[in-house]
Amino acid sequence: MKKLIQFKNIIKEFDGNLVLKGIDLDIYENEFVTLLGPSGCGKTTLLRILGGFLEQTKGEIIFDGQEISKVPAYKREVNTVFQKYALFPHMNVYDNIAFGLKIKKQSKDVIEQKVNRMLSLIGLEGYGKRNVTLLSGGQQQRVAIARALVNEPSVLLLDEPLGALDKALRKEMQYELKRIQQEVGITFIFVTHDQEEALTMSDKIVVMKDGRIMQIGTPADIYNEPANEYVARFIGESNIIEGEMREDYKVFFDDRVYDCVDFGFKKNEPVDIMVRPEDLEIVERGKGTISGEVKSILFKGVHNEIIVQTVSGASKTVTMHVLQNHDLTNEEAGEKISANDFYMDLEDVANLSDAEVIARANAQAWDTDDELVSLSKVEYEVKEEPGVYPVTFKTSAGTAITVKITVLEPKFIEDQRKGVGITAFDFYKTADELKESIALDTDLCIWAKAEAWDLEDGSPIEIEDIIYDFDEETITEGDFPITFATKGREFKVHTTKSSEVGKKVDILFSPQDIHVMSKMGNL
Amino acid sequence: MKTFSKLVWPYMAWITVFIVAPMLLILLYAFTKEGNSVLTLQFTLNNFTRFFSDSIFPSVMARSLKIALMTTLLCILFGYPAAYCISKLNDKQQALAILLVTLPMWINMLIRTYAWRGILSYFDFDSEIKVLIGMVYNFIPFMILQIHTSLSKMDQSLIAAAEDLGANKTQTFMRVIFPLSIPGVIAGITLVFLPAVSSFFIPKLLGGGDYVLIGNLIENYFVSTGDWNFGSAISLIMAVLIIFSMFLTKRIDHQIGEEKE
């Protein structure tokens, strides 16, 4: 095959922003090439530069052996199918398709012959006289393709042409486009953010991110051998694990060395490891590669998605003291008041405010009509050392309640091996407050002030699991343990088999199922 | 919606008192004899026969139509390029340009026309030319605004598509931009032609006493001569002409619309 287009170090700058950061790409004759990436990755910009609607800041485009940067759009041998088709609303289907030929002043009978041939290629024979604005999305799409193809370009550019169609029609048009491309035998350059479209139609996929090319390859290459974590995540579903390459064919992660088929890395080089969910199998305990526990099962139609946890996360267990309702009634004023004891971190004492104390004690007062009454006075004296201190809340009518603040040394759990710190505090709640909660897990985290963070950079880490053994609807007074835990190592498994949540299982995979990738660095 | 529908009544009352009733009165006056009281109405067609039997009245009417047509044509000729250039600017510049176009309208039209009388007194122009200048000056903003609206809301990808299909700038303009802006031009024609054909103070101020248009004629019969019946008849003839011309432009607009079917 012959090289048709060469992009050489294309750089594009918009108002000081680098949209393309040096694109080198060769495109061959009769290829179906897809530029794939999320919005803002520069794929459409690259297409528009090739179409002649934008000029690159730097770099060369060689088209069929000639530099074409200065050639205006209307003289280039490429035609474009625009995102929203851009059909001329003041012309019928026939005139839209004939537009380019009329511009080239071809004779009437030649135009008629070519347009009719196009109409049958796109399956719209007899639609010539129709008003384009009255066609369906799919039909407009076909007319746009015909309008471009009738000019017999050597390259057809398609800018997210299927984006406006519904899912079923999009599928149909994918096959249609591939068929048309094979029939007319010219190069198609197709821009999309849809990985499925890219995998279905392309001979070659160019994965882009932030103005750079991440990987160029066939759909199979890109899927099976993604160059880095970004490509692996963008195309298909994947489990990605940080690890270390011990030596050729030996990769280390989660405390163990595994055999793999990858080589050529430096000794002990940090790497990303990818395993596709469909390559994993769930087997009985003792018969697989890694042991774990089934966390969840999701029905996805063709398969089940089973999450298996193989390493548990960092966790901290606290006690929730459930109290009886303890409203105090002030008969004279016709008011009631309530507040809870609470625990707090020594570090927080310095910044304690009235509002904070009211919130933490959940202090409230209300009158006989159940209208809330404001607390006019909050009296407390808390020293910056561990101990128990009284706090009194009062309304202006003199209704008062006193509760205890217990100040504690901060207690962190730092899991060095996982690189995670986690903390949480014991707390007091009444049974009613538990019943009133509409998002109990979130409330428990707030009440216990449960937090987790990355030991390296201090960034917050989500608390994934909140484990407790009570039913908030029927709970009575007493002490209850609650465990807060971060996400451990979880594997996503796609299988047609089923399992049960909580079952102890093994995951089975072979060395070929592991794919080792270089770290992305600062890309 | 129903609760708001009552809000239409003040407007209906307004229309009835200030538009419908005067129109009916004009109709009544046009077909009755001078000096009638409401009790002794005498219907007649004399006012109309008078208009068409004296060659001076139809010729004034023809002159009015001619000057209105010329005004409209010049407004398109100068307004279209202006609107086109404005639509090529960036958003901020466009807002400024539109502001500049509409800025003179903040000043009373009469005052502006007086100013033109001062300016034009230095030149030895024909009355007709002076009136034409005043008309084009006064009415061109309406044309520019209409055309600019239709150009600026045009889908830019259509222009890119035309270029992509091999059309150079001229071809793109002729085959895509201009045809798609015709509705704006037609709206502009309506807004310029109607006030131009009935304008009376521009010819009065700029044309001198000898340049009479139909609007001056009507004013004369109502204000100076006091012949309201004949004045009403002229107004009615003009109203019919205007309705007919609007019908014509509508037809043209429609035909262009149908061509794409």
User: How do residues A67-98 score in pLDDT, each as one tens digit?
Assistant: 999 899 888 989 999 988 899 999 999 999 99
What does the DSSP 8-state code read for residue B218?
A: H
The burial class, CB within 10 Å (0-12 / 13-18 / 19+), for B104 is middle
The CATH number that applies at residue B205 is 1.10.3720.10
Q: pLDDT class for B37, splitting at 50, 70, 90?
A: low
Same domain for A144 and A164? yes
Same domain for A328 and A302? no
The series of mean pLDDT values per 10 residues for chain A, 523 residues long, is 90 91 93 93 93 92 91 90 91 94 93 93 89 90 92 92 84 89 92 91 94 94 92 90 90 90 90 93 90 90 90 86 79 84 84 86 84 85 87 86 86 76 87 85 88 86 87 84 88 90 91 90 57
Q: Given CB atoms, is A88 within the 8 Å cutoff of chain B? A: yes
Which residues, including other chains, have CB under 8 Å from residue A320's CB and lie 6 or more apart? A426, A427, A428, A429, A444, A447, A448, A468, A479, A480, A481, A482
Same domain for A320 and A308? no
Q: Given CB atoms, is B35 within the 8 Å cutoff of chain A? A: no
- A493 belongs to a structural domain: no
The Cα–Cα gap between A168 and A24 comes to: 35
Pick the closest to residue B201 from B151, B129, B134, B107 (CA basis). B134
**Preferred mutation among B90, B154, B157, B164 to probe A, highest tally of A CBs within 10 A:** B164
- A73 belongs to a structural domain: yes
Q: Which helix (H) or strand (E) holds A230?
A: helix A229-234
Tell me the nearest-neighbour CA distance from B250 into chain A, angstroms.
Answer: 17
Tell me the nearest-neighbour CA distance from B165 into chain A, angstroms.
Answer: 5
Cα-based distances in Å from A312 to A33, A308, B12: 43, 10, 76
Supply the pLDDT for residue B260: 45
Closest B-chain CA to A156: B164
* Per-residue model confidence as pLDDT tens digits over A356-387: 888 888 888 888 888 888 888 888 888 888 88
The Cα–Cα gap between B88 and B96 comes to: 13
Tell me the nearest-neighbour CA distance from B51 into chain A, angstroms.
Answer: 45
* Per-residue model confidence as pLDDT tens digits over B122-170: 988 888 899 999 999 999 999 999 999 999 999 989 999 999 999 999 9
Q: In angstroms, how far apart are the furthest CA atoms of chain B? A: 75
The Cα–Cα gap between A252 and A269 comes to: 10
Closest B-chain CA to A144: B161
Nearest CB among A53, A92, A103 relative to B171 is that of A103
Tell me the nearest-neighbour CA distance from A148 into chain B, angstroms.
Answer: 7
Q: How many helices (H) and strands (E) does chain A have?
A: 11, 36
Cα-based distances in Å from A504 to A304, A491, A510: 17, 14, 20
Q: Given CB atoms, is A83 within the 8 Å cutoff of chain B? A: yes
Which residues, including other chains, have CB under 8 Å from residue B248's CB and lie 6 or more apart? none
CB pairs under 8 A between A and B: 73
Same domain for A202 and A174? yes
The Cα–Cα gap between A447 and A344 comes to: 11
Domain endpoint, select from A174, A199, A231: A231
Assigned token pair, A78: 């490429």
Whether residues B260 and A52 touch (CB distance < 8 A) is answered with no
Closest A-chain CA to B166: A74
Assigned token pair, B192: 């310029």
Q: Given CB atoms, is B174 within the 8 Å cutoff of chain A? A: no
Assigned token pair, B152: 């600026």
Cα-based distances in Å from A151 to A7, A69, A112, A154, A177: 24, 21, 13, 9, 17
- B178 belongs to a structural domain: yes
* Per-residue model confidence as pLDDT tens digits over A416-449: 777 788 888 888 888 888 888 888 889 898 888 8
Beta bridge partners of A156: A79, A188
- B26 belongs to a structural domain: no
What are the chain B neighbours of A131 within 8 Å (beta carbons)?
Answer: 260-261
What are the chain B neighbours of A92 within 8 Å (beta carbons)?
Answer: 260-261
Q: Give the residue-averaged pLDDT of B44-71.
A: 89
Supply the pLDDT for residue B38: 63
Contact predicate A218/A203, CB 8 Å: yes
Tell me the nearest-neighbour CA distance from A147 into chain B, angstroms.
Answer: 8
Contact predicate A81/A158, CB 8 Å: yes
Pick the closest to residue A444 from A456, A419, A427, A461 (CA basis). A427
Nearest CB among A83, A86, A151 relative to B166 is that of A151
Closest B-chain CA to A147: B165
What are the chain B neighbours of A91 within 8 Å (beta carbons)?
Answer: 260
B111 has a pLDDT exceeding 50: yes
- B115 belongs to a structural domain: yes
Domain endpoint, select from A205, A231, A257: A231
Q: In angstroms, how far apart are the furthest CA atoms of chain A? A: 103
DSSP for A352-402 reads --HHHHHHHHT-EEEETT--EE-EEEEEE---SSSEEEEEEEEETT--EEE
Closest A-chain CA to B176: A88
Among A residues 11-70, those touching chain B with beta carbons less than 8 Å apart: 51-53
What are the chain A neighbours of B155 within 8 Å (beta carbons)?
Answer: 84, 86
Domain endpoint, select from A182, A209, A231: A231
**Preferred mutation among B165, B174, B177 to probe A, highest tally of A CBs within 10 A:** B165
**What is the share, in percent, of chain B residues with pLDDT greater than 90?**
47
Q: Give the residue-averaged pLDDT of B60-70.
A: 92
Lowest-confidence region among A289-293, B19-23, B24-28, B43-47: B43-47
Q: pLDDT class for B258, splitting at 50, 70, 90?
A: low
Whether residues B179 and A79 touch (CB distance < 8 A) is answered with no
- A504 belongs to a structural domain: no
Q: Given CB atoms, is A146 within the 8 Å cutoff of chain B? A: no
Among A residues 119-138, those touching chain B with beta carbons less than 8 Å apart: 129, 131
Please give the mean pLDDT across all residues of chain B.
Answer: 88
Helix (H/G/I), strand (E/B), else coil: B248: helix
Q: Given CB atoms, is B157 within the 8 Å cutoff of chain A? A: yes
Contact predicate A429/A436, CB 8 Å: no
Q: How far is CA A504 from the centre of its chain?
A: 29
Nearest CB among B155, B165, B176 relative to A100 is that of B165
**Preferred mutation among A54, A80, A160 to probe B, highest tally of B CBs within 10 A:** A80
Q: Which helix (H) or strand (E) holds B74?
A: helix B56-88
Whether residues A90 and B179 touch (CB distance < 8 A) is answered with yes
Whether residues B165 and A148 touch (CB distance < 8 A) is answered with yes
Supply the pLDDT for residue B44: 83
- The tokens 């009281």 sit on which residue? B37
Strands in A375-380's sheet, in edge-to-edge order, are: A342-345, A400-408, A387-395, A375-380
Closest A-chain CA to B183: A90
Supply the pLDDT for residue A188: 95
* Per-residue model confidence as pLDDT tens digits over B197-252: 888 888 888 887 778 888 888 888 888 888 888 899 999 998 898 888 888 888 88
Number of domains in chain A: 3
B39 has a pLDDT exceeding 80: no
Cα-based distances in Å from A232 to A210, A215, A239, B60, B117: 16, 11, 9, 82, 77
Same domain for A415 and A513? no
Which residues, including other chains, have CB under 8 Å from residue A1's CB and lie 6 or more apart? A28, A29, A30, A31
- A491 belongs to a structural domain: no
Same domain for A101 and A164? yes
C-alpha angle with apex A69: A67 to A70, nearest 5 degrees? 105
Q: How far is CA A206 from the centre of its chain?
A: 20
Q: Given CB atoms, is B171 within the 8 Å cutoff of chain A? A: yes
Which residues, including other chains, have CB under 8 Å from residue B16's CB and lie 6 or more apart? none
* Per-residue model confidence as pLDDT tens digits over A134-146: 998 889 989 999 9
pTM of the predicted model as reported, rounded to 2 decimal places = 0.74
Helices (H), A20-126: 43-51, 93-103, 108-121
Supply the pLDDT for residue B67: 93
Closest B-chain CA to A131: B261
What are the chain A neighbours of B256 within 8 Å (beta carbons)?
Answer: 90
The Cα–Cα gap between A430 and A327 comes to: 10
Whether residues B163 and A53 touch (CB distance < 8 A) is answered with yes
Phi/psi-derived region of residue A22, left when phi > 0, alpha when psi is between -120 and 50, beta in every other case: left
Q: Given CB atoms, is A89 within the 8 Å cutoff of chain B? A: yes
- A459 belongs to a structural domain: yes
Tell me the nearest-neighbour CA distance from A103 into chain B, angstroms.
Answer: 6
* Angle, helix B46-53 to helix B228-259, in steps of 10 degrees: 70
Q: Domain range holding B117?
A: 62-259
Q: Domain range holding A283?
A: 237-312+509-518
Number of domains in chain B: 1
Q: Given CB atoms, is B90 within the 8 Å cutoff of chain A? A: no
* Per-residue model confidence as pLDDT tens digits over B174-195: 999 999 999 899 999 989 998 8
Count CB atoms within 10 A of the CB of residue A5. 22
User: β-strands A342-345, A400-408: how paired?
Assistant: parallel
Count of all residues that appear for chain A in the document: 523
Contact predicate A83/A161, CB 8 Å: yes
- The tokens 């796109």 sit on which residue? A122
Tell me the nearest-neighbour CA distance from B149 into chain A, angstroms.
Answer: 17
The CATH number that applies at residue A478 is 2.60.40.10
Tell me the nearest-neighbour CA distance from B194 into chain A, angstroms.
Answer: 28
- Give this complex's ipTM: 0.76
